[in-house]
Amino acid sequence: MTTLTPNRVQKGILAIDSTLYHFIENEVLPRVGVSSETYWTGFADIVKQFTPINKQLLAKRDEIQQQINQWHLDNPTINGAVDYAKYKQFLKDIGYLLPEGDDFSVSTDNVDAEIASIPGPQLVVPVRNARYALNATNARWGSFYDALYGTDMIDSADGKDKGSSYNPKRGDAVVAYAKGFLDEHFALEQGNYSDVTGFSVVNGKLQVAQGDAATSLKDGSKFVGYKGEASSPTAILLKNNNLHAEIQIDASTPVGKTDPAHITDVLLESAITAIQDCEDSVAAVDAEEKVEAYRNWFGLMNGDLTETFSKGGKTLTRKLNPDREYTTPTGETLVLPGRSLLLIRNVGHLMQNPAVLVDLGDGPEEIFEGMMDALVTPLLTINDIKGNNELSNSRTGSMYIVKPKMHGPEEVKFANDMFAAVEDALSLPRNCLKMGIMDEERRTTVNLKECIRQAKERVIFINTGFLDRTGDEMHTSMNAGPFVRKGEMKSQAWQPAYEQWNVDIGIETGLIGRAQIGKGMWAKPDEMKEMVATKAEHPKAGATTAWVPSPTGATLHSIHYHQVNVKEVQESFKTRERASLDDILTIPLAKDIEWSDDEKRQELDNNAQGILGYVVRWVDQGVGCSKVPDINNVGLMEDRATLRISSQHIANWLHHGIVSEAEVLEALKRMAKVVDEQNQGDPSYYPMAADFEHSIAFQAACDLVFKGREQPSGYTEPLLHQARLKLKSNV
């Protein structure tokens, strides 16, 4: 029976915010062909079944943490020394470190090639922002010329600056770089691409003119298609390591008309996959904000999402790119996806949301948000799963859900069981809801093989994430002693072992050819030269994908997957010794805590500025991910993981007396003024320093630090949600 209450619709045990209810009832259910009664009955049944289990799992997190806290109090360290044999046995005794079962291989099937067999960059984007969501989806193909010209990949020396209009000197450097890339990965039998004066396709083979002479590719199999007439093609499609590059030919463009072969650009297959995020890069604290995210995903899954905006004095409308068609060397039609394959990151098991209130007998309480995501996002994806959409995402009838912040195998099993229940409720095929397991919690890392086992028919993704993983590292061992400075974390024994362990376990459990093994984000979107110089380490480490902060970053990072054959790397790792669990369990404690006052102040300022710069936008503006200037005014792409590591680090130093509460508060106030100055050009920005006491954002930042030790797993979401809801209620 449906009853109405102010701003809510009652459906049995559910009291649904009318914004969410009417979106699902009026926009979604008729379009996906699911009846209202079927959906809401199934929704309520699943909530009733899984809510108590969710609570039990969260209680177990707290119980384990309390036991670890007490162990460290009972076994104090001296100069950072821990009795690791005793510690390891203790972790086994309390069920933190579980026995490892027999070997197995995952059996995930119906996986799209972008995940199973095409290594390449991965974008992560807040799905609540339609423009960003479309940009990421359309980032499957990127202009190499634009990526080079617009970034620091090309230096400004000798008159090569970008300037306010096209600079031919810079353009020449771009062309030379791009042709060097072609020389390296699509080498010619004779000469190089700077000598090329034309292309043609003769008897199914690529013929490359060099003045009066002609040559061809050293490896003819890398030529896979073309556009236009065979005698005078407008595009040449090449393939290397399962990635495509398209040489575009057009004599009418300013660049093309001056090129000997009329090459106007080189288009690179770039963001092979993209995660549309409902979690760490999104601020969505109520039904209004959740529906914005859900509506955009629904548009993506039906192929009709558009966004109109103003740029450079013009009104533009963005929509999804169509697929790309070519003629193969044998004259057949080749169709390649024009869009990144999309995954969606649901919320983890912790958070609750007032969009739905649930009454299981003890009065109404907020629904677990991860459960709501699991019930809503597959509903929004039905047309794509069934192949009934306008522009397809999956071509295998699968939906790809990334599950973050799970602690150990029991929590993975919980998610797996819930996905099965959702499939049954929506009459979807078993295991069509695939699962990505984010290896960002310490209890998941040390039990990763058993976590994967629990989802062995669904898993399509594991990855590492330094910031969240470090945040959990610090919170778990908060009582062990003071941690090293934040900048030293990556040089500690646990970190490289963790990164290798993730790859080793992924290979051992048969992820090659079925699932992605991923690495974390490059956080500096303006520092592309540095990214290209360093991020090649990810495919060399056996990762089939790694996160990038922008479509441009995806285009430039794709270079690395041409340089490295990831499958060959992974095969070579099958015989290496697995990373050391003992190293992973080594707590990053400082052995020398005699830091100078300047060093402590520098550490506090760096952490405090990073916290405030992100929190003020999250709370005041509802922006979950943006380029935030750091203390040195370097723009960093930040999300909630940034807060977790910084707030836990200050909380640790405060707990162990390295710094005082007064020193921390002074740093927060000092850095608030810096953040205010960094944002003074934003007309929608509310300065914190003008009234510290009444600035909800500033108080939230203080809470993240001073209440950091008591936050579940050190997560920042509870305090952030509380602050934003308070701000919205005051508006």
Question: Which of the residues are catalytic?
Answer: 345, 639
Q: Residues 194, 202: contact at Cβ < 8 Å?
A: no
Q: What is the DSSP string of 584-605?
A: HT---B-S-----HHHHHHHHH
CB neighbourhood size of 488 (10 A): 12
Q: Tell me, rounded to whole angstroms, the distance of Cα 508 from its chain centroid.
A: 24
Closest to 648 in 3D by CA, of 483, 516, 500, 471: 471
Nearest 5°: the CA angle 221, 224, 225 is 150
In single-letter form, the type of residue at position 189 comes to E
In single-letter form, the type of residue at position 116 comes to A
Q: Distance (Å, rounded) from C-alpha 496 to C-alpha 499?
A: 5
Spatial neighbors of 284 by CB under 8 A, at least 6 apart, are 128, 278, 290, 292, 293, 353, 624
Q: Tell me, rounded to whole angstroms, the distance of Cα 284 from its chain centroid.
A: 17
What is the token pair recorded at 565?
């054959």
Q: Residues 44, 13: contact at Cβ < 8 Å?
A: yes
Helix (H) or strand (E) holding 236: strand 232-240
Give percent helix, percent strand, percent coil of the chain, each to the nearest 5.
45, 20, 35
Q: Distance (Å, rounded) from C-alpha 67 to C-alpha 694?
A: 38
Q: Distance (Å, rounded) from C-alpha 428 to C-alpha 198?
A: 52
Q: How far is CA 137 from each of CA 125, 296, 385, 454, 633, rounded to the nearest angstrom?
A: 9, 12, 18, 30, 29
Q: Residues 265, 143: contact at Cβ < 8 Å?
A: yes
Three-class SS state of 638? strand
Task: Assign 3-class secondary structure to 686-719.
Answer: CCCCCCHHHCHHHHHHHHHHHCHHHCHHHCCHHH
What is the token pair recorded at 417?
């069981």
Q: Distance (Å, rounded) from C-alpha 87 to C-alpha 486?
A: 24
Closest to 546 in 3D by CA, of 536, 383, 469: 536
Helix (H) or strand (E) holding 572: helix 566-573
Spatial neighbors of 687 by CB under 8 A, at least 6 apart, are 676, 679, 695
Could you tell me the sign of the dihedral formed by the alpha carbons of 329, 332, 333, 334, in that order? Answer: negative
Q: What is the DSSP string of 269-320?
A: E--SEEEEESSTT----SHHHHHHHHHHHHHHHHT--EEEEEETTEEEEEEP
